[in-house]
């Protein structure tokens, strides 16, 4: 039984996190509104900052007001106040 628990634990920790990332290429702070599991929060990005978020799926409202559904793994770059998916 102990061996089974150890195997399950090692598998859980060996699975890589699959999160979206966003980079703010602008020279001003930008804010995204992230809704995950029914909870809404603000993700504030300083100029030049890159952040990983949304590990299990979420909705994101971009700086220009566009709203996108993310599943994780997306790469977003904010430039000129607009978000571009890479």
Per-residue model confidence (pLDDT) at position 17: 58
The closest alpha carbon to 79, from 28, 34, 24, 42, belongs to 24
pLDDT digits (tens, 9 = 90+) for 20-68: 999 999 999 999 999 999 999 999 999 999 999 998 899 999 988 999 9
User: Model-level pTM?
Assistant: 0.77
pLDDT, tens only, 59-70:
999 988 999 999
Interacting residues of 25 by C-beta distance below 8 A, sequence separation 6+: 48, 77, 78, 79
């Amino acid at each position: 039984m102990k061996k089974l628990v150890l195997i399950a634990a090692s598998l859980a920790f060996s699975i890589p996190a699959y999160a979206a990332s966003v980079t703010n290429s602008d020279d001003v702070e930008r804010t995204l509104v992230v809704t995950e599991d029914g909870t809404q929060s603000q993700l504030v990005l300083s100029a030049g900052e890159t952040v990983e978020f949304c590990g299990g799926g979420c909705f994101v409202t971009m700086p220009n007001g566009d709203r996108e559904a993310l599943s994780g793994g997306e790469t977003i770059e904010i430039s000129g106040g607009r978000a571009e998916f890479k």
